[in-house]
Amino acid sequence: MQNLIKYTPPSWASKLRSIPQYYVKLAQRSTPINQWNLQSAFPDRKISNFQIYIKRDDMTGSVLSGNKVRKLEFLLADAMHNKCNLILTAGGIQSNHCRTTAVAARQLGLSTGLFLRCDEDVRSNLQLVGCQGNVFLNSMVESKIYLIERKAQFVPDILPKMHTLAAHLQDTTGDKCYMVPIGGSNTIGLFGYIDCFQELIEQGLFENFDDIVVTCGSGGTTCGLALSNYLTGSKVKLHAICICSDSNYFYQHIDDTLESLQLNHQIKARDIVDIIDGYAGLGYGLSTEEEMKLSYDVSRSTGIILDPVYNTKAVNGMLYEMENNPQRFQGRRILYVHTGNAASDYDIQIEF
């Protein structure tokens, strides 16, 4: 297929198992690294000992912005290579991952079916779903929507539903389905942030930074960065701040990925990343007034927009650790990886 591009991994990743054969061009790569004056947003906070920089992966595109699109370059290429024409994936009702998957798939001539988690009252009254934010964008590219329980987990609950639907569609319409996990977090999507790490190296990561900080929502971006940091022999320390679940869940997710790559006898997740608990707030997709105030102060002072679901919570955690647990960091030159945002995340009104 003309969209498929032969993939060659960085030399330091060339011996990994399950290297994708192809990728498709979706992301605007080589996103910039800029100095980030967070002290201007919080003049009373004791963070002046740190030099903070930001990797602008919120600039990988417009509707396709953020970390999701890097993973989808490999996942959708794999789907096309396997002659699949319908992509199935899952997330919350306003999932950025689902919206990005739906739009990217349509650009490549593929259809999508989205399993969206929501409350019982929404599932029983479809008018409550509305047509705002990502729900609206999903409808614009004619995605099929399947509403499921808010607490549904991917492997035990959602994946069996996907297999049932895929079998039904294969029999009735001839559609061949390709299943993408939540957040695109598997051994194929992993290569989105293996490639990104090579980009960081070329931008002076080893020479200019001591620590990397990133948000952790499904574990795929964290796993890609952590594995890359290990494979290159980097001395940079990686920190990932949980915005849902807890550190044990994400350590297990990374260990499972390492096992799939047959690296589990060499390394363990706890050896290659510091996963930080305590900053999920009210839970996934729920914001406190304090968190929204932080997001507003950052955007007002620095012009960087932080989404409330992922990056606001992560930056909140990073700043607190800098003030109250500075020894957690290896050095004072910090690179924060901004994993993207969408205006649809701000479906609220708040006054300051």
Cα–Cα dist 17/241, whole Å: 28
Model pLDDT for residues 147-157, shown as the tens digit of each residue = 999 999 999 99
Q: Is 113 in a helix, a strand, or coil?
A: strand
Q: Is 62 annotated as catalytic?
A: no
pLDDT bracket for residue 347 (50, 70, 90): low
Percent of the chain with pLDDT over 70: 96
Cα–Cα dist 351/328, whole Å: 35
Phi, psi of 276 (to 5 degrees): -110, 125
**CA–centroid distance for 45 within its chain:** 28
Instruction: Answer with the residue of higher pLDDT: 347 or 314.
Output: 314
Instruction: Answer with the residue of higher pLDDT: 347 or 162.
Output: 162
Q: In one letter, which amino acid is 245?
A: S
Q: Which of the following is catalytic: 95, 185, 228, 287?
A: 95
The confidence score (pLDDT) of residue 341 equals 67
Is a pLDDT exceeding 70 seen at residue 343?
A: no
The confidence score (pLDDT) of residue 284 equals 86
Phi, psi of 51 (to 5 degrees): -100, 115
Cα–Cα dist 14/8, whole Å: 8
Cα–Cα dist 106/277, whole Å: 37
Cα–Cα dist 35/333, whole Å: 10
Give the ranges where the chain is alpha helix by DSSP (H).
68-81, 96-107, 120-124, 133-140, 159-172, 191-202, 205-208, 220-231, 247-260, 269-272, 289-302, 311-324
pLDDT bracket for residue 350 (50, 70, 90): very low
Name the token pair of 334: 């910090």
The confidence score (pLDDT) of residue 227 equals 98
Q: In one letter, which amino acid is 183?
A: G
Predicted TM-score (pTM) of the model is 0.94
Contact 22, 4 (CB under 8 A): yes
Cα–Cα dist 254/227, whole Å: 9
Given the structure tokens 């977090």, which residue do they identify?
185
Model pLDDT for residues 36-71, shown as the tens digit of each residue = 999 999 999 999 999 999 999 999 987 887 999 999
Mean pLDDT calculated for residue range 80-88: 98
User: How many Cα neighbours within 13 Å face the side chain of 71?
Assistant: 27
Phi, psi of 296 (to 5 degrees): -65, -45
Model pLDDT for residues 186-220, shown as the tens digit of each residue = 999 999 999 999 999 999 999 999 999 999 999 99
pLDDT bracket for residue 346 (50, 70, 90): low
pLDDT bracket for residue 127 (50, 70, 90): confident
Name the token pair of 312: 């606001």
Model pLDDT for residues 269-312, shown as the tens digit of each residue = 999 999 999 999 999 888 999 999 999 999 999 999 999 999 99
